[in-house]
Structure 1
Amino acid sequence: MIPAASQPSPDTHVDIPVALREPAHQVSPRAVPYWRVTALITASVVWIAALTTYALVPQRPWWSTLLLAVALLAPLAHVLVMPTLRFRIHRWEVTPTAIHTRAGWLTIENRVAPLSRVQTVDSTQGVLMRVFGLASLTVTTASAAGPITIDCLDHEDARRLVQELTEITGASEGDAT
C-alpha cells in the first residue's frame, strides 16, 4: 500500500502511457503474389550463381555440397514465408491529423507523421507493380527519419490517397517545416 503522503492528489496529472493501436488498413491482397514473384526473381539469381559456382569449381571440398544446399534452401524459405508474413504486418492509415504506417517482416517499423509536416506526396508504379495493379506511395515529411512509404496499395487506392493527402496538406497553413 502506498502511504497517503506519496499518493497523487486527484488534481495531479499523471501521464499514463497509451498503447499505439495498429493502423486500420492492410495493403492490397495482390501484394502477396507480387512479393512472392520479386522474391522468386532474387532467389533465381542466387540459385544460378550458386549452381554455376558449384559446377565450375573442380575438386570441391566436402562442405561445398552443404553450402550449396543452404544457398538453395534459404532463398526458397524466403519465397515461401516472407510474402504472407509481410502482408500480415504491413498496415497504413490516414487520419485527419496524421499518417500512420507499420511495415517490415524481420524488423517492424511503426511511423506516425503529422499531416502538418507533409511536404510531398508521390506515387510510383514499376513494371511488375503494374502487372499486379499495385502502386507505392511515398510521403515526404520534415523529418530526419526520412519519408514514409506505403508499399503495394491497389493502384486506385493509391490514386485516391494521393488526392486526399494533397487536399489535406494543401488546406493547411505553414510550410511543413
Structure 2
Amino acid sequence: MNHVLREPAHRVSPQAVPYWRLSAAVGDVVLVVAAVVAYAVIPDVPGWTLVLVLLVAAAAVAHVVLMPRIRFRVHRWEVTDTAVHTRSGWIGRETRIAPISRVQTVDSRQGALMRLFGLASITVTTASAAGPITVDCLDAETAREVVARLTAITAAAPEQDDAT
C-alpha cells in the first residue's frame, strides 16, 4: 500500500507576516547598529571591513523582506481527532505528527508583541524524545479554540499504557 502524506490543512494567521517582519527587524537593527558602531569606533580598521558591514546590512534587509513571506507559505497546522500535524521552517523544513494518544499537555502563549498583532502560539507536549510541537502565530481566537478542542479530544481519548 502506497501512502502519501498530505500537507496540514491550515495556514497560520496572515498577521504572522508583519509580526515576523517586525520581530526580525528589531533583531537585525541591533546587529547592524552594533556592526556600524564597531566599525566607527575601532581605530585603523582595514578598508574591507566596510564591505563586511554593508554585507551584514544587506543580509539583514533580505532577512526582513523575504523570511516572513517564505515562513507564511511553509507554516501549516492541523488538529484531527487522531493527531496533531505541523509543518514549519523557512530555510529548512520540519514536519511533525503526534498521535492524540501521546499528547500530555497543551499550552498557549501570547507575548506582548504577539498581543499587538492579535496572535498566539500553542505548544503540544507529547511523550516524544523530539520535544513538543509548537504552532506559532495563530489568530488568538483560533488558538483558544484549538486548545479547547485538543483538551476535549484528549480527555475523551482512552488512556493507553505507553510507559509515559
TM-score bracket relative to the smaller structure: over 0.9
Which structure 2 residues correspond to residues 4-153 of structure 1 after superposition, within 5 A? 15-16=1-2, 18-153=3-138
SS in 2 for 1:58: coil
CA RMSD of aligned residues (A): 1.0
Q: Report what 1:158 is aligned to.
A: 143
SS of 2:95's partner is strand
Rg comparison, structure with higher value: 1
Pairwise CA distance, 1:60: 1.7
| 1:173 shift after superposition | 2.0
**Corresponding position: 1:172 with 2:161:** no
* Secondary structure, aligned partner of 2:91: coil
TM-score by length of 2: 0.96
Distance 2:101 2:66 in 1: 38
The separation in 1 between residues aligned to 2:67 and 2:136, in whole angstroms, is 15
- TM-score, normalised to structure 1, is 0.89
SS of equivalent residue, structure 2 residue 129: coil
Is the partner of 2:143 in helix, strand or coil? helix
Distance in structure 1 (CA, Å) of the matches to 2:156 and 2:72: 33
Equivalent pairs: percent with the same residue? 59
Q: Which amino acid aligns with 2:97?
A: V
Aligned counterparts of 1:81 and 1:88: Cα–Cα separation in 2? 11
* 2:121 counterpart SS class: strand
Once residues 24 and 171 of structure 1 are traced to their aligned partners in structure 2, the CA distance between those partners, rounded to angstroms, is 23
Q: Which runs of no fewer than 5 residues in structure 2 stay unpaired?
A: none
C-alpha distance in 1 between matches for 2:104 and 2:45: 56
1:3 maps to: none
Q: Structure 1 residue runs of 4+, over 4 Å off?
A: none
Q: What displacement does 1:52 show?
A: 0.5
Work out the CA distance in 1 between the residues paired with 2:45 and 2:107: 51
Residue 166 of structure 1 aligns to a residue whose secondary structure is helix
